[in-house]
Copies of this chain bind each other. A is one copy, B any other.
Amino acid sequence: MRTDRKRSDCPISCSLDIFGDKWSLLIIRDMMFFNKSTYGDFLKSAEGIATNILASRLLGLEESKLIEKLEHPDSKAKVLYRLTQKSIDLLPIIVEIHLWADKYFEIHADIKTMIKEAKNGKDKFIKTMTQQLKRQIAT
Query: What is A's interface to B at a CB cutoff of 8 Å?
Result: 7-17, 20-22, 25-26, 29, 45-48, 86, 89-90, 92-94, 96-108, 111, 115
Q: Residues of B contacting A13 with CB < 8 Å?
A: 26, 46-47
Q: Which 7 A-B pairs have the closest CB atoms?
A: A11-B101, A8-B46, A7-B47, A93-B96, A92-B96, A20-B22, A8-B47
Number of copies: 2
A47 to B22, CA, bound (A): 20
Q: Are the C-beta atoms of B22 and A16 separated by less than 8 Å?
A: yes
A104 in contact with B86 given A7-B46, A7-B48, A12-B25 (CB within 8 Å):
yes
Report Cα–Cα, A107/B53, bound state, in Å.
31
Residues of B within 8 A of A103 (CB): 89
